[in-house]
Amino acid sequence: MSFNSNGISNFMTMDEVKRMCPAAFKSEPTNPNLSDKYVQANTATVIEDLGKLGWYPVQAKQCRAKKNSSGIRSFHMIAFQNPDIYIKKDGGNGGTIDAFPRIILTNSHDGFNSFKFMVGLFRLVCSNGLVVGTDEFANMAIRHINYDFETLRDVVKTTIDGIPGIICKMNEMKNTVLSEGEKKELAASVLKIRKNIPEEEKFDIDEDTIMDILKPNRSEDAGDDLWTVFNICQEKMIKGGFSVTNAENKTRKQRAISSIKKDMGFNQKLWDVAARFMPATVAA
């Protein structure tokens, strides 16, 4: 994804979305086992309708079919941004753009999913996106049979109305300074989520792994506040590249998360974990 000089994203054309995510343009259900009563609403229609409301596609992905599968999988994700809605780093008219709120749409044409909308943030400094946790923002869904433009307009309004609350949470995280012990605890917690290990379960993590997770990829991300440390950990967990030493003393570099569902689910859990490190009076 590229950004021009003023920080506004170059949006994808419909042809580009179709090339990256052909499942979004299926006019017929991809599951031959669905009954004749199944009503399909095409994702391409939602893309056009969101454009009428000022939100344009910036990212598109779809699940890869598993080997020897029937080929009916069509789960996909489209992320949208509005060029006129962004978060400034320092506030006021003179601040630089820090992040863009996003509407993240997931859907499938196989009868297993409705349209689901989540709120995300895209940070310019690292070209990295995250999904806001469910505790901070309710996910919204529209069944195919109930889809219409007015319902979509309500989803967009709910998204915009919730952005001030997200900014407030960001500022609270920026004002929460972590001790060295808390930073290491946060790094250990996010790694357990990445490894799908329950929070209460014991998991030995060596010091080198912890410090590798906490090491910023760029000088702009140096800092001890919760927002900065959270974003360092989130980027490492999603994009991989850090090393983990197991009980057999074997060190392996972690890969990036490629699954759409794992990426979004993991992001939401990370947001909720970070919120636990805020002062109780603030988190409440």
Residues 47 and 85 in one domain: yes
Residues 120 and 20 in one domain: yes
Residues 28 and 70 in one domain: yes
Q: How many domains does one find in the chain?
A: 2
Residue where a domain terminates, one of 136, 163, 190: 163
Residue 88 to residue 75: CA distance in whole angstroms: 33
- The reported pLDDT for the residue numbered 284 is 43
* Domain range enclosing 26: 14-163
Residues 88 and 209 in one domain: no
Spatial contact of 41 and 144, defined as CB atoms under 8 Å apart: yes
Other C-beta atoms closer than 10 Å to the C-beta of 25 total 16
- The reported pLDDT for the residue numbered 234 is 86
Helix (H, G, I), strand (E, B) or coil at 239: helix
In a domain, 8, yes or no: no
Spatial contact of 234 and 268, defined as CB atoms under 8 Å apart: no
Residue 186 to residue 192: CA distance in whole angstroms: 10
Spatial contact of 29 and 111, defined as CB atoms under 8 Å apart: yes
The stretches in the chain having pLDDT less than 50 are: 1-7, 38-39, 68-69, 281-284
- The reported pLDDT for the residue numbered 183 is 95
In a domain, 4, yes or no: no
Record the tokens describing residue 123, joined without a space.
């940070």
- The reported pLDDT for the residue numbered 100 is 87
Residues 56 and 121 in one domain: yes
Contacts of 178 (CB under 8 A, 6+ apart): 186, 224, 225, 226, 229, 277
In a domain, 6, yes or no: no
Residues 19 and 158 in one domain: yes
The separation between the first and the last C-alpha atoms of the chain, rounded to the nearest angstrom, is 37
Residues 151 and 200 in one domain: no
- Over residues 112-171, the pLDDT tens digits come to 567 888 888 887 655 556 677 555 555 677 776 777 888 889 889 988 888 888 888 888
- The reported pLDDT for the residue numbered 259 is 76
What Cα–Cα distance (Å) separates residue 172 from each residue in 69, 163, 175, 177, 277? 46, 14, 5, 10, 11
In a domain, 175, yes or no: no
Residues 133 and 69 in one domain: yes
Residue 207 to residue 184: CA distance in whole angstroms: 9
- The reported pLDDT for the residue numbered 38 is 47
In a domain, 42, yes or no: yes
Predicted TM-score (pTM) of the model is: 0.77
